[in-house]
Structure 1
């Protein structure tokens, strides 16, 4: 495997490990073990645990943006909204690590910001701004639609993270395609 392929496998392993353990609860040893490399090799690919976390967080947001872009490609109006909502629902059901990694990113940003470290926040905000811009354009540059879509998405994140089943009353009023199927 090339160094770039190893780096890619470290990012995927980091998403899985950080999604479950968070920043503080995940060891670089666990990431190295999942990839099948030594810790020293891991640190040849990434200079620090923080760099691994930021790469995992950035990848998670990039993958989410890609899901939205592919779902909305060639559509407009209500169709793009429904397609993106359904695609996001599939993403978090089919790959729950993406949702968990998002939630761990928010927790890590809050903790780091409180401690005076702004690198996590700067990276996460930049990724979110790219996502906002792309969703905003896909939804016809309507601020209200973009805000509503992302607000529903955050509520979906919360409800799914808390394990509410799709038939629970808290899901009432969602876009039908945004309700989880598990």
Structure 2
């Protein structure tokens, strides 16, 4: 049996945390469930991450960073005028390949809003910073056109909401979308 290094184990914990937090949210997910999914003890988990909040942040930041990287990679592979559609297609593929990704994004927004409401304004800072990186990267890729960036990001957020609410692609709420770029829950 091959032993994993601490970095490999940390990586497996982050992947497990994404799945568990995506499905249960920050408050509804126990570190015990994450440790069990990975096959480690809870004390070992806390050697890798000092607390649940640090683990959640690692999972949330990973999801946002991977989204930003996927969009940038997609855009870099096509002429500038095709970047918008390439990024939309890449995002659709991310969601289709890993449904927990969308749920994790949504749980991230809920966790930050909950923390802010409870007076914890530091919890959201690294998440806001990573989301700003996503915005900035997208903005530059789309030619630093604020209207284009706003359209792209708002369109994506609306897709997140409709997909996470489970609207079938045939429902009237999707009527204004180019269905070739919309992730479906069917």
Q: Same fold (TM over 0.5)?
A: yes
Question: Does residue 6 in structure 1 map to residue 9 in structure 2?
Answer: yes
CA offsets per residue over residues 46-96 of structure 1, 9 Å max, x none? Answer: 000000000000000011011101111143444111111111111112211
Deviation of 1:153 (Å): 0.6
Match among 122, 134, 137 for residue 125 of structure 2 = 122
Whole-angstrom distance in 2 between the partners of 1:169 and 1:79: 28
Q: TM-score, normalised by structure 2?
A: 0.94
Whole-angstrom distance in 2 between the partners of 1:33 and 1:78: 47
CA RMSD of aligned residues (A): 1.2
Question: Does residue 179 in structure 1 map to residue 176 in structure 2?
Answer: no
What aligned pairs does 1:81-160 form with structure 2 within 5 A after superposition?
Answer: 81-160=84-163
Match among 53, 57, 67 for residue 54 of structure 1 = 57
Match of 1:40 in 2: 43
1:81 to 1:176, Cα distance in 2 relative to 1, 3 A: farther
Match of 1:19 in 2: 22
Task: Count matched residues.
Answer: 182
Deviation of 1:2 (Å): 0.3
Where structure 2 has 5 or more consecutive residues not aligned to the other structure, the ranges are none
Judge conservation of contact 1:85–1:177 (CA < 8 Å) in 2: no
Whole-angstrom distance in 2 between the partners of 1:111 and 1:71: 33
Q: TM-score, normalised by structure 1?
A: 0.96
Match of 1:65 in 2: 68
Deviation of 1:18 (Å): 0.2
Structure 1 runs (4+) deviating above 6 angstroms are none
